[in-house]
Structure 1
Amino acid sequence: MKALNGNMDYPIYIHTLSRDEAMEWIMDEYGESLKRFIYTYVKNKAQTDDIFQDVLFTVYQKIDTYQGRASFKNWLYQVTANKCKDYLRSPFHRIFIWKEEITGVVSDSTPETRYLLDEQKRSVIEAILKLPIKYREVLVLQYYKEFSIQEISDLLKVNPSTIKTRIMRAKEKLKDLLKEDFLNE
């Protein structure tokens, strides 16, 4: 198991592990990163945890379907993105949002996040979360998850030139949002 921890992407080794060992490795290597990725979609900690469990269950069931055509990391993030999009399309999501609006529940960052992030970083994150999902996801995948344009294109099943355009537009929208935030202070 220690040999796996040295490399973040082991498509060959993953098939030599038992399902339980593979899941343990996935949680160690990608768990927190996947949770942060999910949070960028749903913006709610409780829903993030629920979707993360659903992702793990799906990966557990389908890990032997991974064929190595894309990197294992890309496959894992594709499963996660699809689960997030399924959730956002679901009626449950709309009910949950409606309930939050009525009860006034706001999903703030966790205390540890507030402790670790200074005010400027928090402003940038909040601005990113205000972006429409198609812009938010490309920024997160490129700058936080360090995916290449081609990997993002493969994951989202969108033309690479469209990805580049979305990144450009996302940056413009982000610049406008941040300008507004700093002008309002």
Structure 2
Amino acid sequence: MHDSSELNESVRKAVMTYSDSLIKIAFAYLKNMADAEEVAQDVFLTYLQKAPEFASDEHEKAWLIRATINKSKNMLKAGWFRSRTPIPDNLAYFPKDEYSVLQAVLSLDKKYRIPIHLHYYEGYSLEEIADILHAKPATVGTWLARGRNQLKEAIGGQAT
């Protein structure tokens, strides 16, 4: 059990270390920066409230990513989220050289978009992604291959 100063320091360190990653993961689901930031804040608030114990930094990061995915999915399921008109998002948050690739990634179906993001942006292996998404490694491999093929078509079509 953490004492409150240890817990506060753990959460502060996690915010500094993982905020950008969690926001990008949530953004890959929600396609809206304000909603992605709200999800990340909610994940850190849950961390503070539940005070989970982690065996390692990798365990902590996996827990944070799983919580981000779950909260993003819950937001997508919410009736108000589905019925609202999305505000076009400003992708200037991302480096210019990533912009066209990011647009192509965001155009993918969610089942390809999330594994692509976790693999290429977060550096997770196929087995780790399978564990995070509660899927078989072979299924994740198929999603990655199909997502890559769709990206090649989308980006390849733009190349001159």
TM over 0.5: same fold? yes
Return the letter of the residue paired with 1:106.
P
Map of 1:81 onto structure 2: 69
Alignment correspondent of 2:142: 165
Task: Describe the superposition over 1:35-59 as per-residue Cα deviations: whole angstroms up to 9, x where unpaired.
Answer: 1221111111111121112111112
Residue identity over aligned pairs, in percent, reads 30
Q: Which of 13, 21, 33 is the equivalent residue of 2:9?
A: 21
**Correspondent of 1:106 among 88, 96, 116:** 88
Matches within 5 A, 1:30-179: 30-64=18-52, 66=53, 68=55, 71-96=59-84, 99-100=85-86, 105-110=87-92, 112-113=93-94, 116-118=95-97, 121-179=98-156
With the length of structure 1 as denominator, give the TM-score of the two structures.
0.77
The alignment yields a C-alpha RMSD, in angstroms, of 2.2
Q: Distance in 1 between matches of 2:2 and 2:103?
A: 39
Partner of 1:3: none
How many residue pairs match? The answer is: 158
Structure 1: 5+ residue stretches without partners: 1-13
In the alignment, the residues of structure 1 paired with residue 34 and residue 64 of structure 2 have an alpha-carbon distance, to the nearest angstrom, of 21
**Contact in 2 for aligned 1:142/1:148 (Cα 8 Å):** yes
Query: Which residue identity does 2:11 align to in structure 1?
Result: M
* Per-residue deviation, residues 145-184 of structure 1 (Å, max 9, x unmatched): 011111111111000100001000100111112233347x
TM-score scaled by structure 2?
0.88
Map Cα deviations across residues 63-88 of structure 1 (whole Å, 9 max, x no partner).
32x45497221111111111111111
Listed as ranges, the gaps of 5+ residues in structure 2 are none
Find the residue that maps to 1:181 and give its secondary structure: coil
